[in-house]
Amino acid sequence: MGIVVQKFGGSSVADAERIISVTRRVIAEKDKGNWVVVVVSAMGKTTDNLLALASQITDRPDPREIDMLISTGEQISISLLAIAIQSMGYPAISFTGPQIGILTDQIHRKAKIVHINDEKIKQALEEGKVVIVAGFQGCTLENEITTLGRGGSDTTAVALAAVLGADVCDIYTDVDGVYTTDPRIVKNARKLDRISYDEMLELASQGAKVLYSRAVEFAKKYNVPVHVRSSFNDNPGTMVVKEEKDMEDIVVSGVAYNRDEAKISILGVPDRPGIAAEIFGSLGDANIVVDMIIQNVAEKELNDISFTVGKDDFNEALNVAKQECKRLKARDVVYDTEIAKVSVVGVGMKSHCSVAAKMFRALAKNNINIEMISTSEIKISCIINGKDVDKAVQAIHDEFELEGAK
Amino acid sequence: MGIVVQKFGGSSVADAERIISVTRRVIAEKDKGNWVVVVVSAMGKTTDNLLALASQITDRPDPREIDMLISTGEQISISLLAIAIQSMGYPAISFTGPQIGILTDQIHRKAKIVHINDEKIKQALEEGKVVIVAGFQGCTLENEITTLGRGGSDTTAVALAAVLGADVCDIYTDVDGVYTTDPRIVKNARKLDRISYDEMLELASQGAKVLYSRAVEFAKKYNVPVHVRSSFNDNPGTMVVKEEKDMEDIVVSGVAYNRDEAKISILGVPDRPGIAAEIFGSLGDANIVVDMIIQNVAEKELNDISFTVGKDDFNEALNVAKQECKRLKARDVVYDTEIAKVSVVGVGMKSHCSVAAKMFRALAKNNINIEMISTSEIKISCIINGKDVDKAVQAIHDEFELEGAK
């Protein structure tokens, strides 16, 4: 008896017809004799529509009330999917995140799962039921409804797979798997059969939206095999797994891009120890996740500090930056919301040199200016002008001959 | 410091604009120095739309999953109203029925409130917040989401008013108050300034949809003054209150009608003791509320038993009736879904005679046939052909000169 967790995104449950076709996949797994747990997102554009309603009332809604509002989206999908599965003659039961005991911290709209009580799920599975859980949501100890932020349903699915010791976590999506880069930009992008957690993590955090980084972190931590595959066909997708020896033979696995960041610079910051800790401490206190940070000397004893944040956090980050600028008696705050980030990712980088030079060369050949650079063991990212993204991704993909690699 | 409970129906919160206009009423009450608890229904047609989604999947959805589905409707309204009130600078917090501790029995779609925990509400009120509670919903001891059936939001509001010892429960609706009859049918129907709980109860259970009978039962039991008033203007509405002496001077307070019932007859039932108890016991076990019951002798030792049920319950009631017919070796089951019920209600009936005769005369003068009759201390109801309703209501209203009464 295996345990399979299946996750279906919003486009897979966008209407009654698609919900019915999701039931076929659920039943197929159940018929194999597996215990099946299904995690679903809100139908189609439901979350966006609910947010649009709130924005008709005010620009700055209370995050607690937004969580109350948007968590209804998944609650609608789970009940409809349960009804659909039952109508096929299979017992099924739906649970909201709070009901099933997905306990989170108190940070509304970006809550982190702190504990999952698997008692109720296991009981229902033992009773022979398909268990359907609302993705993206949980609750605090005080029974306040929270949501997990972008990609929250992926996180719910992988976390449940981890807690239940599932054999696999199937992430059904509208693409066939993880590609060397976005196939909408690069026509000859290639689907990867497998990818390591670390590479997926870098690709995800660099903007590849097929699987979100927090879900990958969970998968890595608990060693959950994740299968990213299409909800529209039965082709094998991409297995996201623990790094294996032969993976290092491939220097670069993929090229990612991200248009959802903005750059903020605090200019003329006094050069004394602890300044950076103060600035980024304040941003952290405001629950803003900072991506790249660059500091260089502008003039004698004055530094320029630049950083990038997600566009969702831009307004708040800019406020914090302005307060810090005033407090530190720095010169000015400037920003640029028209930037983009391109990244190459590959575990093989650890054992190969000149990957960076090759990437910079691809950009230079195409007259693309690099504004910021950041590297990790298995990733190199460059901030460029937003209008150059497509050209940059194609150039890098070509330079590393990703369409032809094994 | 008074406590005011305000209830707004679906049409009062149908869109962002109307939600904003609801906030004005809430704030006006708050500005008087009162503690304000607001109960809201789902926006406009939300509940119907959700039910339509489920019916695209199957005709017989699981009531538990339907409660999961439709309870999202109120959750959307409460969060949007909280956001709207906050945007006016007033602290507010929303709670779902399960969150606030509205404990019900386990009958999905028709759950009854068994207990309300007022701790969380009182704490929030003491913190100066407007408390917004989702109407129509609660949860069982096992944390299963339930809904309270038709008029559930009225019931939530009155029950909260009772528990909190509120000074008044304002029911905001799309009409000006309780009328002598439906003003859409009888042009010269008159608004009542006040009405007793018992009369309101009879009017409500006879189909006057302005306030549902279960809410009135609660109000009567806990002596909660209920003010039925328009959400579109500031005119005083109708106070529903304890019966006062002078109310008996008015023989008939109102005329109600109901097109939402259907009649089922079991023909040729053996005439032995306990038969009726068996039939209506089976209907009760199926959670079907039976309204009128009539039994008369058809032929020697065989009875015809007729009863009416809400159209929502008709299919299930018909199944039960057919089973009982078979079991009891009765002759046949026949039904009529094109019936309607007209009723006159008034506490004054207790001390006046010939009200019934007057009502029958009004119907006879208009060639309207009476199929069933049922009476209580303060009410007389007749089942007639559905097509005759408008004519019947107008005739009875004229006969009792309700447009001219004090």
Identify whether the C-beta of residue A111 lies closer than 8 Å to the C-beta of residue A145: no
pLDDT for residue A96 = 98
Looking at chain B, the whole-number percentage of residues with pLDDT higher than 70 is 98
B53-80 mean pLDDT: 97
Residue of A nearest to B94 (CA): A65
Total number of residues shown for chain A: 406
Partner residue facing A72 (CB), from B56, B66, B72: B72
Q: Which CATH architecture has domain B3-174?
A: 3-Layer(aba) Sandwich (3.40)
Contacts of B69 in chain A (CB under 8 A): 75-76, 79-80, 83
Contacts of A78 in chain B (CB under 8 A): 68
A75 contact B CB<8A: yes
pLDDT at B297 over 80: no
Query: pLDDT class for B315, splitting at 50, 70, 90?
Result: very high
Query: pLDDT class for A27, splitting at 50, 70, 90?
Result: very high
pLDDT for residue B183 = 85
Domain ranges of chain A: 3-174
Partner residue facing A80 (CB), from B57, B60, B78: B57
The answer to whether the Cβ–Cβ distance between B16 and A78 falls below 8 Å is: no
pLDDT at A67 over 80: yes
Average pLDDT, chain A: 91
Residue of A nearest to B58 (CA): A87
Query: pLDDT class for A207, splitting at 50, 70, 90?
Result: low
The answer to whether the Cβ–Cβ distance between B62 and A83 falls below 8 Å is: yes
Identify whether the C-beta of residue A276 lies closer than 8 Å to the C-beta of residue A305: yes
Contacts of A96 in chain B (CB under 8 A): 68, 145
pLDDT at A37 over 70: yes
CA distance B56 to chain A (A): 6
Query: pLDDT class for B117, splitting at 50, 70, 90?
Result: very high
CA distance A53 to chain B (A): 7
Q: Dmax over Cα atoms in chain B, in whole Å?
A: 76
Cα(A316)–Cα(A314) distance, rounded to whole angstroms?
Answer: 6
The answer to whether the Cβ–Cβ distance between A61 and B72 falls below 8 Å is: no
Token pair 């239940």: residue: A164
Identify whether the C-beta of residue A157 lies closer than 8 Å to the C-beta of residue A219: no
Question: How many Cβ atoms from other residues are within 10 Å of residue A361's Cβ?
Answer: 14
CA distance A372 to chain B (A): 39
The answer to whether the Cβ–Cβ distance between B69 and A75 falls below 8 Å is: yes
B72 contact A CB<8A: yes
pLDDT for residue A3 = 97
B137 contact A CB<8A: no
Instruction: For A211-233, give one letter per residue: b (16+ CB within 10 A) or e.
Output: bbbbbbbbbbeeebbbbbbbbee
Scan residues 17-46 of B and list those with Cβ closer than 8 Å to A: 19-20
Partner residue facing A75 (CB), from B62, B72, B83: B72
Residue to mutate among A76, A88, A103, A147, with most B CBs inside 10 A, is A76
The answer to whether the Cβ–Cβ distance between B71 and A75 falls below 8 Å is: yes
Helices B46-57 and B63-87: angle between axes, nearest 10 degrees = 150
Q: Which token pair is A287?
A: 């629950």
pLDDT for residue A404 = 58
CA distance B59 to chain A (A): 9
Model confidence over A300-330: pLDDT tens digits? 788 888 999 999 899 999 999 999 999 999 9
Beta bridge partners of B265: B306, B334
CA distance A209 to chain B (A): 28
DSSP A212-259: -HHHHHHHHHHT--EEEEESSS----EEEE---GGGGG-S--EEEEE-
Identify whether the C-beta of residue B348 lies closer than 8 Å to the C-beta of residue B249: yes
A143 contact B CB<8A: yes
CA distance B72 to chain A (A): 5
When comparing pLDDT for B376 and A91, which is higher? A91
CA distance B255 to chain A (A): 40
pLDDT at A29 over 90: yes
Identify whether the C-beta of residue A248 lies closer than 8 Å to the C-beta of residue A351: yes
Identify whether the C-beta of residue B311 lies closer than 8 Å to the C-beta of residue B363: no
Contacts of B84 in chain A (CB under 8 A): 57-58
CA distances from B368 to B91, B352, B362, B386 (A): 57, 25, 9, 10
In sequence order, the 6+-apart residues with CB closer than 8 A to the CB of B376 are: B202
The answer to whether the Cβ–Cβ distance between B76 and A53 falls below 8 Å is: yes
pLDDT at A219 over 90: yes
Residue to mutate among B60, B80, B103, with most A CBs inside 10 A, is B80
Average pLDDT, chain B: 91
CA distance A20 to chain B (A): 8
Residue A331 gets which letter from DSSP? S
pLDDT for residue B404 = 58
Q: What amino acid occupies position A136? A: F
* Range in A111-125, B189-203, B247-261 the model is least confident about: B247-261
Q: ∠ at Cα A139 (A133, A144), nearest 5°?
A: 135
The answer to whether the Cβ–Cβ distance between A65 and B57 falls below 8 Å is: no
* Range in B15-19, B277-281, B338-342 the model is least confident about: B277-281
Contacts of B140 in chain A (CB under 8 A): none
Model confidence over B281-295: pLDDT tens digits? 999 999 898 888 888
Partner residue facing B68 (CB), from A58, A61, A79: A79
Nearest to A121 by CA among A99, A103, A152: A99
Residue to mutate among A24, A26, A50, A57, with most B CBs inside 10 A, is A57
Beta bridge partners of B4: B36, B168
B65-72 mean pLDDT: 98
The answer to whether the Cβ–Cβ distance between A83 and B57 falls below 8 Å is: yes
Side-chain-facing half-sphere of A368: CA atoms under 13 Å = 28
Model confidence over B130-162: pLDDT tens digits? 999 999 999 999 999 999 998 899 999 999 999
Q: Which token pair is A302?
A: 């004055």
Partner residue facing A84 (CB), from B57, B68, B96: B57
Query: pLDDT class for A204, splitting at 50, 70, 90?
Result: confident
Residue of B nearest to A58 (CA): B87
Residue of A nearest to B52 (CA): A16
A62 contact B CB<8A: yes
B364-373 mean pLDDT: 90
Identify whether the C-beta of residue B125 lies closer than 8 Å to the C-beta of residue B110: no
pLDDT at B184 over 60: yes
The answer to whether the Cβ–Cβ distance between B72 and A69 falls below 8 Å is: no
Cα(B97)–Cα(B139) distance, rounded to whole angstroms?
Answer: 7
CA distance A87 to chain B (A): 6
Model confidence over A257-315: pLDDT tens digits? 999 999 999 999 988 888 888 899 999 999 898 888 888 776 778 888 899 999 989 99
B334-344 mean pLDDT: 94
The answer to whether the Cβ–Cβ distance between B75 and A78 falls below 8 Å is: no
* Range in A30-44, A92-106, A177-191 the model is least confident about: A177-191
pLDDT at B122 over 70: yes
CA distances from B243 to A85, A90, B197, B200, B353 (A): 52, 54, 7, 11, 20
Partner residue facing A83 (CB), from B58, B82, B86: B58
Query: pLDDT class for B207, splitting at 50, 70, 90?
Result: low
